[in-house]
Amino acid sequence: MILEEAIFAFQQMLSVSSERTWLEVALKFFPFALLLELPMFVLVVLGIVRYSIRQLRPHKQRERYPKVSCVITCYSEGEDVIKTIQSLAWQEYPGVIEIIPVIDGAIQNAPTLAAAKSCEAELKDIPRRHLLVLPKWQRGGRVSSLNSGLQFATGEVVMALDGDTSFDNDMVSNVTRHFADPNVVGVAGSLRVRNAAKSLATRMQALEYMLSIGAGKTGLSEFNLVNNISGAFGVFRASFLRRVGGWDAGTAEDLDLTLRLKQYFGRHKGLRIVFEPHAIGHTDAPDTFPIFFKQRLRWEGDLFYLFVRKYRFNLRPGLLGWRNFLFTLLSGLYLQLVMPFVIVAYTGVLLWTMPLGMVLGVMSFVYLVYLAALAIFFGLYVVGVSERPREDARYLLFLPLFPLFAFAARVHCSLAVLTEIFFKSHLDSAMAPWWVLKKTKF
């Protein structure tokens, strides 16, 4: 009986024999979430196509290789920080690279401090590479480490990097070329999941990183709409970073800084934040779904904290410019904070008003529509963006599971937002000690 209902509902969703039938299907069954996400999908697809066409043109010969300061935030990474330092030291970059690992709480993190110092002898033999190990004895959190490193940075370009992230050897060359444009104030690097083969959870996150970071930000960058410069891999013009006061205490310091940079866009029309898909960093992702959802509980809650609690009076066209203002309303407020509740409500209405078989039929249709859209998105990424197309193409096998993964993540996002609303979950963060977070204004 349930199977028959499911087949009937699915067939009804596919039936468009008349205008009236299509209208009934649209009003009763069609996932309005998809309709509301469609403008974003089209925008990003057009951006990826535009990027791919631009890559066919010859690149200009570089004239300058600015000095780069890499501020590495370290806390309990141990010997993993050696990989990060070495991956920066052996970059194929003719300019000077200054490497500043900041060891937060260096007394209790003596192994990490010792590991960083063990690289000093190796870097002495590498031309134009300088290592400054900065032990910060009192733990103050990630923002404290970044701002401490910024005080010692002497480069024209400053990179904010995680202590457990390693990089392809052309990363610095790829990311710094954008600063030849004086209007570029920040560049977002691309992240890949280093432990992708460990479990299904890491495979799904690797695919998510490809689609949301590799493909999504490539498309958005074409219209100067990059939504976030990742905290694990962000690059900034040092003079402008100091102009905005560095990083701010609290949580989600990466999105916080991105929003503060964008608050100059309305007054200075030419300013840009760029995404470079071929500047690659490799990081480890949670290897089980429970750990993944615990991580996202904080990440998604931080969105509400920043958009609603901290910057609700700053999200206006006079500061952001009309383009980024409208994009923030759609992407930041609606798709990230409202859409999860729309999806939960839509699913709940289906379950309440329709037999189980009909629900299964409708959801099957929704699944196939999303899968088709993902297939287009994934294909464009592999062909037009990826620097490892053969390696990435193998993830096509996991693509059928991704709509289910994304649905679970969206439902969980609604829980994260509620947790932040009622319990201020941003104050329960490992990014800083409780007494630092307690002193923040919001």
Question: Which pairs from 41-44 meet CB under 8 Å and 24+ separation?
Answer: 41/373, 41/377, 43/219, 43/220, 43/223, 43/225, 44/215, 44/216, 44/219, 44/220, 44/377
Higher per-residue pLDDT: 99 or 298? 99
Higher per-residue pLDDT: 339 or 380? 380
Taking 60 as the threshold, does the pLDDT of residue 286 lie above it?
Answer: yes
Query: Looking at residues 274-299, what average pLDDT do you find?
Result: 95
pTM over 0.85: yes
Q: What is the pLDDT of residue 327?
A: 95
Q: Considering only CA atoms, which of 416, 73, 400 is closest in space to residue 233?
A: 73
Backbone φ, ψ for residue 367 (5° rounding):
-60, -45
Confidence of residue 133 (pLDDT cuts 50, 70, 90): very high
Tokens found for residue 283: 């990081």
Query: Looking at residues 14-35, what average pLDDT do you find?
Result: 51
Taking 90 as the threshold, does the pLDDT of residue 268 lie above it?
Answer: yes
pLDDT mean across residues, the chain = 89
Q: What is the pLDDT of residue 197?
A: 95
Q: Considering only CA atoms, which of 380, 70, 422, 373 is closest in space to residue 210?
A: 380
Beta-bridge partners for 74 = 103
Pairing verdict, β 129-131 and 97-104: parallel
Query: Which of the residue ranges 20-34, 255-269, 359-373 would you say has the lowest mean pLDDT?
Result: 20-34
Angle ∠(269,244,303) on CA atoms, nearest 5: 85
Structural domain boundaries in the chain: 2-47+324-438, 68-287
Taking 50 as the threshold, does the pLDDT of residue 17 lie above it?
Answer: no
Q: What is the pLDDT of residue 316?
A: 95
Q: What is the pLDDT of residue 18?
A: 46
Burial readout 192-216 (b: 16 or more C-beta within 10 A, e: otherwise):
bbbbbebbebbbbbbbbbbbebbbb
**pLDDT tens string 106-119:** 999 999 999 999 99
Tell me the one-letter amino acid at 67. Answer: K
Q: Indicate the CATH number for domain 68-287.
A: 3.90.550.10
**pLDDT tens string 120-132:** 999 999 999 999 9
**pLDDT tens string 164-205:** 999 999 999 999 999 999 999 999 999 999 999 999 999 999
pLDDT above 90 covers what percent of the chain? 70
Q: What is the pLDDT of residue 31?
A: 53
DSSP collapsed to 3 states, 24-91: HHHHHCCCHHHHHHHHHHHHHHHHHHHHHHHCCCCCCCCCCCCCEEEEEEECCCCCHHHHHHHHHHCC
Q: What is the pLDDT of residue 20?
A: 46
The answer to whether residues 238 and 185 touch, using CB atoms and an 8 Å cutoff, is no
Q: What is the pLDDT of residue 250?
A: 74
Q: Tokens 């710094």 — which residue?
A: 176
Q: What is the pLDDT of residue 370?
A: 87
**pLDDT tens string 319-356:** 999 999 999 998 999 889 988 998 888 888 878 887 88
